Amino acid sequence: MSVLSPHSPRRQRKAVYEATTFERHILMTVPLSRELRRRFHRRSVPLRKGDTVMVMSGSFVGREERVAKIDRRGYSVTLDNVTLKTGEAKLKPLAIKTSHLVLTKLNLADAWRRRTLAAPEADVTPEERGEAPEAAEAEPVETVPAPAKTKETVASKDDDAPKNTPSPRANRKRTTPEPKEAGP
């Protein structure tokens, strides 16, 4: 009878598969960028929705996007504007593993997260808190109404063609190929 080591690959894989959601939260840590490491004196932080990350490998390498969704069951993350085109030409969000990411901006809207990172309240920007920049300080912008359309601008030479014509492909009739006649 062999005794398995607590560090054996078999036990490590089993621990990952059977981890609770709280353990998975800790396992889904992402390394911080150099600037954030200097600022918070930490190497990595568990990922949260609203954080901004940079993709380090794959077809979206170098892209910096916000975290839209975290899937703890699959250990993956969905980012804004990172999509795949499906067979029906639809855009589908692409799930990315956390090992391919680096944190560039933290979402410090939660006071508990600010406390755990020991972030002084004075150093946290409104953008990091999730607050909108104050628009009251900016001068109001006057909106100019669009010029009214006249009959001359509406009708032009190119408008003679009917607008709701189906595409040439839609007009094609499906036909079955005719069987070839047997030669003499």
What is the per-residue DSSP string for the chain? -PPPPTTSHHHHHHHHHT--HHHHHHHTEEEBPHHHHHHH--SEEE--TT-EEEE-SSTTTT-EEEEEEEETTTTEEEEEEEEEE-TTS-EEEEEEEGGGEEEEE----SHHHHHHTT--GGG--HHHHTPPP-SSSSPPPPPPPPPPP-HHHH--GGGGS-SSPPPHHHHPPP-PPPPPPPP-
> Average pLDDT of 150-164?
54
pLDDT band of residue 122 (cuts 50, 70, 90) is confident
> Average pLDDT of 45-62?
94
Report the predicted TM-score, pTM, of the whole model to 2 decimal places: 0.65
pLDDT tens per residue across span 72-121 = 999 999 999 999 999 999 999 999 999 999 999 999 998 899 999 998 88
9-118 classified as CATH 2.30.30.30 = yes
